[in-house]
Structure 1
Amino acid sequence: MTLFNIRWAMRHTLAIVALTTACSTLTVQASSTPAEKKAAHSYTHQTAPTQFIEVEGARLAYRRFGKPSAVPLVFLQHFVGNLDSWDPKVIDGFARDREIILFDNAGVASSSGEVPNTIEGMAKYASGLLQALNVKKADLLGFSMGSLIAQQVTLDHPNLVRRLILVGSSPRGGVGMDSLTPEFQGYLAKKRAVPDELLLDVFFTQTIESQAAGHEFLTRLRSRRVNRDVDVDSKTAPAQAAAIAGWGAPAGNANDYLKGIKQPTMVVAGSHDIVFYTVNDVTLQQSLPNAQLVIYPDSNHGAIYQYPDLFLKHATLFLNGVK
């Protein structure tokens, strides 16, 4: 990452932090007994308690709930996102049929430790969390930066991952990935009265229909009022921006590593993604050995939040192995 981009990320940290909502976090112990697992089935995105577990010297915050299943679905979050940055409609939709694990990576929001400045470092904590929770096999859903981490976890621990969903993603050295895109930077610099309305610009297109879906999403996003996760701090954005830029640095034969990801993969994209350009999702699908591609119309980086019901149908069919 260039010195310019590091300074830019630090200068715009307050705008970036608008992607999260500040509040307190409930501390409980990790669930492990059958009774506790059964109780977790009654939790929703709004009520699931935040738990903590030690991983690689960091105390990671996570929420584990949903219908008990042999293969949980693990979510890896976007740039400066926290536990409450996921769409409750999407999370609860999955939780009806399978176990869900959400977590904050090291140094992010309620998790302790230093924020890694490489995707490889973030992947170490993600796989470490699953090992600490005694998860032998998992499906991974990575969104944006989280999709890069999901790829790296799959490369590092292929036996741990069954299926992979990459949302708003990119291969290494992708188009426009060596720094935050000009469009994204422009929207981050824009002044707005309500901070989290930044998401209307970076997750949705400017059409009337897309913006209407965006306002519905914001209402859902704000729905958890008790024991919300805390904000990311000022160190998070620069470290994560550096990690994304490192992943996106141009290199010869940058896509060769994708041959090593043999798991069935679903790549999901918006038709007009200005954060990670849509062409990168196409490249992923063409380069991965066993991948399918879904592109939603009139959509931006948050396509799965513009079409939550349709995405749940597509993703459920994929996770269930339906072709």
Structure 2
Amino acid sequence: MSQDYLTAPNKTITSTSGITFTYRELGNDKDIPLVFFNFMAGTLDTWDSRLINRLATKRHLIIFDNTGVGNSSGKVPTSIRQMALDALTFIRALNLKQIDVLGFSMGGMVVQELLELDSTIVRKIILAGTGPRGGVGVSIAEKINNPKFLKSLSHINNIRSYLFFTKIPNEKMMTKTYLKQIKTRKFNRDKNATPAVYLRQLKAINAWAKAKPNDLSIITKPTLIVDGANDIMVPTINSYELNRRIPNSTLIIYSDAGHGSLFQHFKRFSTSVIQFLEE
């Protein structure tokens, strides 16, 4: 199995629902797989290969496009719950009996819904730059007075440019490095997220943010929560709230980082993840 995300082949599998999911697989397939759940407008090629490759040296990784995203077929759901149902369909199509999960931003919301649907297949949980259902400032509508967010709306890629690395001395360098890194793969690239994908995901996030808070006390599996101290996309207070409400959880806050802390500190983050999964 491939050890380099930049050359890992694109694989497909068709579920019982008729959706054809596109995914990549790395690492040792004898391990319990760590399944990645993506952020808004994210595709296979918006994950930083430096982070993925470090994790692949120790773990079996599965990175996938959910319904309607990238090269996966179907139409993007307008609810986080349906995204979770579709993700569960993908996991069952691969006949996976037990998994670890890593949900970043919107992906962390999908993971929480997935745990409500079926927590038995999940062994350990990693939540990065995300928050609980009904969390503080999670609704996009609440960000209309934030100049950086308004600027980001002019182009989908600017969501990453302006919101991943915020309030840090070398913000521009971090942004430039990340945007360059995610373009490094030259062949068999994933399809970029379209404005329609973005808008449907936006609708799902806004509805989820306004919904009744979820009962996080039911999450008893070991959980690692990671965020930057200056996250303006999903305000950092939400990570503290996750830690408070999830009984068996550990919180890591990077003092100099924003929403994309797992990419900014990919070395430290990968080390923490590997240690957490191997404990």
User: How far apart are residue 138 of structure 1 and its match?
Assistant: 0.5
Q: Does 1:47 align with 2:47?
A: no
How many residues in Structure 1 have an aligned counterpart in Structure 2?
Answer: 275
> TM-score normalized by structure 1?
0.81
Partner of 1:142: 103
The correspondence of residues 238-257 of structure 1 with structure 2, limited to 5 A, is 238-249=199-210, 251=212, 254-255=213-214, 257=215
Determine the C-alpha separation between the residues in 2 that align with 1:270 and 1:206: 10
SS, match of residue 53 in structure 1: strand
Q: Determine whether 1:170 maps to 2:126.
A: no
**Structure 1 unmatched ranges of 5 or more:** 1-39
| Contact map agreement 1:88 1:220 (CA 8 A) in 2 | yes
What does residue 245 of structure 2 align with? 287
Letter in 1 for 2:80: I
For the pair 1:188 / 2:152, whether they are aligned, the reply is: yes
Q: Distance in 2 between matches of 1:315 and 1:207?
A: 23
Runs of 4+ aligned residues of structure 1 deviating over 6 Å after TM superposition are: none
User: Any conservation in 1 of the 2:149–2:159 contact (CA below 8 Å)?
Assistant: no
Higher Rg of the two aligned structures? 1
CA distance in 2, matches of 1:207, 1:64: 33
Aligned-partner SS, 1:151: helix
CA-based RMSD of the aligned residues comes to: 1.7
Counterpart of 2:6, as a letter, is Q
Distance 1:117 1:238 in 2: 9
Residue in 1 aligned with 2:84?
Answer: 123
Q: CA deviation at 1:250?
A: 5.2
Rounded Cα–Cα distance in structure 1 between residues aligned with 2:31 and 2:116:
22
The amino acid of 1:278's aligned partner reads T
Q: Aligned equivalents of 1:209 and 1:165: distance in 2?
A: 27
Following TM superposition, by how much is the alpha carbon of 1:127 offset from its aligned partner in structure 2, in angstroms?
1.2
Contact 2:37 2:102 in 1 (8 A): yes
Aligned to 1:241, the other structure's residue is in SS state helix
Shift of 1:155: 1.8
Deviations 1:92-127 (A, max 9, x none): 111111111011110111111111111110011111
Bigger shift: residues 226-235 or 107-116 = 226-235
TM-score by length of 2: 0.93
Q: Distance in 2 between matches of 1:233 and 1:214?
A: 21
Percent identity reads: 35
